[in-house]
Structure 1
Amino acid sequence: MEAQSGAVAGAAATTTTTEQAILMEKCEQKQKKMKVMVAIDESDGSFYALKWALDHLFGSMGVAPETNPEEVGTVVMVHVQQPFQQYVFPAGPGGAAFYATSTVVESVRKAQEENAAAILSRALQLSKDKMVKAETLILNGEPKDMICEAAEQMQVDLLVVGSRGLGTIKRAFLGSVSDYCAHHAKCPTLIVKPPKKSTK
């Protein structure tokens, strides 16, 4: 009788171990095909966040050089540019109104596009060096809203944003994209803070 109950307990233990192995395998498969969105702008903080994500979320998987990048996962790099408004500028002693001409608007738009292309080209090179499949996305609008919207529409597994390290007063007045995303994104959000600079 004792031998029989020992056999049943052994079978239960084997089943639990097998179930754990299956769960671990499923988690590894999901991790390998993870879709991560990283918000990129010209700041050092956003590039530090991208490097951190590539090193820790993709680089730690022990990927062999011959592995197909699609099996590892995808990083989506999103850059949001704020639309240029034709503001009214007071000009002259009487404060006469001045509107930006269409050539000024067009040159600003072209400069924004070139800036976005340069930023994403640099980001793409980082992902290429780490052999991680990457996609880029350029959006127009308010950055914090557009990043959250894009993360939801693309159904990413994780949103990674850098921290500019704004002080309490600046954050209160200017707001923080990272804080906003942490509270409004519909997916898990990781805020990567850059290392503190040494004062030596």
Structure 2
Amino acid sequence: MASKKVVIALDNSEACKKAVDFAVDHFKEGYTYHLLHVQPRPYDASSRIAQAEATGNGHAVLWDIEKTAVKMTQKIMDDVFVPRAKSSGAEVVVKLVHCSPDCTSSDIGAAICEYVEQTKPAALVLMKENKGAIERIFVGSVTKYCVIHCCSPVIIVPASSAS
């Protein structure tokens, strides 16, 4: 088992392939890649399911929505990101972390930083978000949050990096 770790924070975007490729190219031998995805819970399904079950009014539809969202993310991880990471022969750990449906970029960033703090990797690799200046001011940025709050070095892969 590899003793060094790299956390690669991913969403389900095509651009995140570049983050995995960057890690494979720059953190070659002896690393375990932790592929991390923060998954917002749709419609806060878990709490509504609990409420519905407590009142004897089970809502299987909400549970199915949440299960489907998690399965879709897991499929993208397994079909797209895991094979890319394993192409180097490295060990790969997939981690899905849940947050509320109304989570902000700060909430997502905090979840990423918490995972980084727990795993103590050599680095956190993120894609640069392609937001304009105004959008960054009002919406925030996961990348910015992680750069400010993360306890490990943060590597930001620009969208224009080589594929």
TM-score band, normalised by shorter chain? 0.7 to 0.9
Structure 2 runs not aligned, ≥5 long = 46-57, 100-106
1:133 aligns with 2:91: yes
Matching of residues 10-21 of structure 1 within 5 Å: none
Question: Which residue number corresponds to residue 105 of structure 1?
Answer: 62
Between the aligned partners of 1:139 and 1:49, the Cα distance in structure 2 is 19
Output the amino acid matched with 1:163.
Answer: K
Output the amino acid matched with 1:46.
Answer: C
Between the aligned partners of 1:195 and 1:78, the Cα distance in structure 2 is 22
Displacement of 1:76: 0.5
- Contact (CA 8 Å) 1:51, 1:126: kept in 2 or not? yes
Question: Which residue number corresponds to residue 67 of structure 1?
Answer: none
The correspondence for 2:115, drawn from 139, 147, 150, is: 150
1:120 aligns with 2:61: no
1:49 aligns with 2:14: no
Larger Rg: 1
Structure with bigger RCO (C-alpha 8 Å, 6+ apart): 2
Deviations 1:145-178 (A, max 9, x none): 1110000011111011111211101111111111
Matched-pair identity in %: 26
CA RMSD of aligned residues (A): 2.2
Between the aligned partners of 1:73 and 1:177, the Cα distance in structure 2 is 24
Tell me the TM-score normalized by structure 2: 0.78
The correspondence for 1:82, drawn from 26, 40, 43, is: 40
